[in-house]
Amino acid sequence: MKPKVIVYKKVDQKVIEFIQHTCDVVYFGKLDAETYPEFLQELKEAQGILGSGLKVDKKLLDQAPHLKIVCNTSVGYDNLDLAELTERGIMATNTPEVLNDTVADTIFGLLLSAARRMPELDDWVKNGHWKSNLGEEWFGVDVHHKVLGIIGMGGIGTALAKRAHLGFDMQILYHNRSRNEKAEQDYQAIYCSLEELLKQADFVCLMTPLTPLTEKMMGKREFELMKETAIFVNGSRGKTVDEEALIHALKTGKILAAGLDVYVQEPVQPENPLLSMKNVVTLPHIGSATYETRLKMAMVGAANLIAGLQGETPPNLIKSGVRVKYSRSIS
């Protein structure tokens, strides 16, 4: 008898067919108020679930007595209660590496867009305001040969450093829980304290995972350490930033601009002040949102799922108990 699994997020039919070779699949294209009760009913017999964004905690797990594996189709896993999963002997997996290049493209695009004010000028042109030569009040700032500070030099951070150094001759500073020798050798990245990075960088990209230690990692003091000409880009998670402190820094000119793909609350609320700021580029959390990459992520997740249910160690097993050692202190 095939194990029963639930896929709870829209995926390509190729993914479903791949899983069906070894599992009975219950598929929910999305979870909402209408489908959630049915999902909970199916969960009672499920041995595995595949998707992203679902909060998997004690309350949910109490309704899944046969669950053996939880597979995220994302690199992040802050939606998973790893301690609770470990206590119950349930495996958890994610999909790192496969999305590195696509997310790095997005983050560097945000950086360029904020620096050269592309969305603002696009709107200006489309609204018929381009009637003469562009005045200095519409000028942006150069990206090439500037200093890029990367907080979190994992796979995506390294891919970002590659684009910046080899493509735009940028000097790379980075702050990480450990040294990244590849980035240092290949892209001349310089390891430094968070304080030093914030003081020197012309662009600051936050690329850390969300953990108890990185929550609100960028706050009032951190923004005050940045140059007034600096641009901040968040490609991690919304809660790694004190959003009120960021809004204050932008309003008061403590920093020049920001590019954001993530927010404390998602979807971002219409009344959020960030949406009315011309010096902020806002994207709807699209870091990995291309057809090719999402398909790869789903297939990696499916491979993790099948391996776990066949008694093998999944390729991307998340090791519980590992704590990211970023410090909120910058002293």
Instruction: Quickly list DSSP for 116-133.
Output: HTHHHHHHHHHTT---SS
DSSP state letters, 174-210: EE-SS--HHHHHHH--EE--HHHHHHH-SEEEE-PPP
Specify whether the CB–CB gap between 233 and 110 falls below 8 A.
yes
CATH of 100-282, one of 3.40.50.720, 3.30.365.10, 3.40.50.1980, 3.30.360.10: 3.40.50.720
Q: What is the pLDDT of residue 76?
A: 86
pLDDT at 331 over 50: no
Which residues fall within 8 angstroms of residue 287, CB to CB, at 6 or more apart?
A: 99, 102, 103, 106, 107, 235, 261
pTM of the model: 0.87
Catalytic positions, written as ranges? 237, 266, 285
Confidence of residue 328 (pLDDT cuts 50, 70, 90): very low
Tell me what the mean pLDDT of segment 162-166 comes to: 98
- Rounded CA-CA distance 149/171 in Å is 8
pLDDT digits (tens, 9 = 90+) for 12-49: 999 999 999 999 999 999 999 999 999 999 999 999 99
User: 29: exposed, middle or buried (C-beta count within 10 Å: 0-12, 13-18, 19+)?
Assistant: exposed
Q: What is the pLDDT of residue 321?
A: 36
Quote the mean pLDDT of the chain.
94
pLDDT digits (tens, 9 = 90+) for 88-106: 999 999 999 999 999 999 9
Q: What is the pLDDT of residue 320?
A: 58
Domain pair 4-97+291-309 / 100-282, same fold: yes
pLDDT at 253 over 80: yes
Q: Which residues partner with 93 through β-bridges?
A: 71, 317
Q: Which two tokens stand for residue 187?
A: 């892209």
Q: In what order do the strands lie in the sheet with 190-191?
A: 190-191, 171-175, 147-151, 203-206, 231-234, 257-260, 280-282
3-state secondary structure of 280: strand
Which residues fall within 8 angstroms of residue 109, CB to CB, at 6 or more apart?
A: none
Specify whether the CB–CB gap between 148 and 170 falls below 8 A.
yes
Tell me what the mean pLDDT of segment 144-153 comes to: 98
Least trusted range by pLDDT, from 70-74, 158-162, 198-202, 209-213:
209-213
Tell me what the mean pLDDT of segment 149-170 comes to: 97
Domain boundaries defined on the chain: 4-97+291-309, 100-282
Domain 4-97+291-309: CATH class, spelled out: alpha beta
- Rounded CA-CA distance 304/311 in Å is 11
